Structure 1
Amino acid sequence: MTTTETEQQDFTTRSEPFQLFAEWLEEARAAEPNDPTAMSVATVDGDGLPNVRMTLLKGFDERGFVFYTNFESQKGTEILASRKAALGFHWKSLRRQVRLRGPVEVVSEEEADAYYKSRPRDSRIGAWASQQSRPLESRFALEKAVARYAAKYAIGDVPRPPYWSGFRVKPVHVEFWKDGAFRLHDRVAFQRHGDDDAWSKTRLYP
């Protein structure tokens, strides 16, 4: 067995989290039957009460983990208020999970525009039609809004709404968990204080 294969088998030997996450995500893409990029996004409201919901990871690199949303939604307003969030990935077929948390920044206008243009046209129309997280009187009201914006942008490009963009979670804590027999799981946590700091690693009791 090569050194690389050994390191992949024993993830606890790694010195930083990003490459390990990339490998686990790639394996999840092959193994998970649906939405391997699905993740929970945890925030805190103005009263300090936690909130969590599922969304999709749309990109990641050493700068952080990116997802897109309506900034006027509940998660959007909560993240803009605190500039902090936590993410959780659970790949049931692989019996693995990754948790991370850290400060949040808004992606650049160029990044948001590029991703928005990559979405199907109907999804771009939906971003205009949905007043995300706010009360909806009926399904028909939503369908009317979709029809209205579909007519408005029937010809040409569908511009990105000013309230629709992306967040980048810049992790300062990343934990990897792998299922073990008799509940003797493997857990490793990576921590740092800022972007330029080196990662420290701690193996945790299961």
Structure 2
Amino acid sequence: MTQALADMRRDYTRDGLTEANAPGEPFALFRQWFEDAVKTEQPPVEANAMTLATVDAQGRPHCRVLLLKGLDDQGFTFFTNYDSAKGQQLAASPFAAMTFFWPTLERQVRIEGRAVKVTPQESDAYYQVRPLGSRLGAWASPQSRVIADRAQLEGLLKATEQRFSDTQPDCPQHWGGYRLVPERIEFWQGRASRLHDRLNYRLDDHSWVRERLAP
């Protein structure tokens, strides 16, 4: 197994990333790369899937895959249960990081910054366009808590369905969005012989500074 892992490698030759084809700020480049990923990546890869890393009160890191649900010039938005493990971690330390990986394009984007809650109006607007099952699930699931078995979860969902049998569920107060406000965004383009292109944008006194990093 160890040797098999050591022998696993792939040479990246699809594209390059130079300063000449990169804008002075990162959001335009992210949008272009994201559009490329939507057009190129095939299931089971989801273009808006990203790994979110957080840190708990003891300084221990945690990460999981989530779906990006909003993007504007303020930052990158995702939604969750505020009482979940990640919600508690963000309450203890608001700093977080995201990583997008698009294997077909041989591209990766790393984003670091501070996570802040979106407004209740933003959370409600997204909640209302979710499928009914997802809206009910936000009420039914005590996310990240230990439960006895699958039957308990299904029982909680059934009780929630009965509760809202005559009305549409509203957005729970314990559920909503976070916006990761970036302080650093790195674009990684795979290149041959592991000499990858890495363009890093860092926020310096409200202005973006672009710089090349060694692979």
Number of equivalences = 197
Matched AA of 2:71? F
Structure 2: runs of 5 or more not aligned: 1-14
Matched AA of 1:116? Y
Report the 3-state secondary structure (helix = DSSP H, G, I; strand = E; otherwise coil) of the residue aligned with 1:205.
coil
Deviation at 1:9, TM superposition (A): 6.6
- Correspondence 1:106 to 2:117: yes
- 2:83 aligned partner: 72
TM-score, normalization by structure 1: 0.92
Alignment counterpart, residue 134 of structure 2, candidates 88, 111, 123: 123
Could you tell me whether the CA contact under 8 Å between 2:17 and 2:197 is conserved in 1? no
**Cα separation, partners in 2 of 1:63 and 1:11, compared to 1, 3 Å:** farther
Report the 3-state secondary structure (helix = DSSP H, G, I; strand = E; otherwise coil) of the residue aligned with 1:103.
strand
Distance in 1 separating the partners of 2:138 and 2:46: 20
TM-score, normalization by structure 2: 0.88
- Correspondence 1:135 to 2:135: no
Could you tell me whether the CA contact under 8 Å between 1:11 and 1:20 is conserved in 2? no
Report the 3-state secondary structure (helix = DSSP H, G, I; strand = E; otherwise coil) of the residue aligned with 1:87.
strand
Alignment counterpart, residue 19 of structure 2, candidates 12, 25, 42: 12
Deviation at 1:30, TM superposition (A): 1.1
RMSD: 1.3
Q: Which moved more, 1:154-163 or 1:173-182?
A: 154-163
Structure 1: runs of 5 or more not aligned: 1-7
TM superposition outliers: structure 1 runs of 4+ over 2 Å = 8-14
**Cα separation, partners in 2 of 1:11 and 1:59, compared to 1, 3 Å:** farther
Question: Which gives a bigger RCO, structure 1 or 2 (Cα 8 Å, sep 6+)?
Answer: 2
Distance in 1 separating the partners of 2:93 and 2:200: 24
Matched AA of 2:63? V
Distance in 1 separating the partners of 2:56 and 2:94: 12
- Correspondence 1:97 to 2:136: no
Distance in 1 separating the partners of 2:188 and 2:18: 10
Alignment counterpart, residue 182 of structure 1, candidates 193, 205, 213: 193
Matched AA of 1:90? F
Report the 3-state secondary structure (helix = DSSP H, G, I; strand = E; otherwise coil) of the residue aligned with 2:186.
strand
Distance in 2 separating the partners of 1:123 and 1:98: 28
- Correspondence 1:202 to 2:211: yes
Matched AA of 2:93? S
- 1:42 aligned partner: 53
Matched AA of 2:107? R
Could you tell me whether the CA contact under 8 Å between 1:125 and 1:158 is conserved in 2? yes
Distance in 2 separating the partners of 1:98 and 1:154: 43
- 1:32 aligned partner: 41
Could you tell me whether the CA contact under 8 Å between 1:15 and 1:199 is conserved in 2? yes
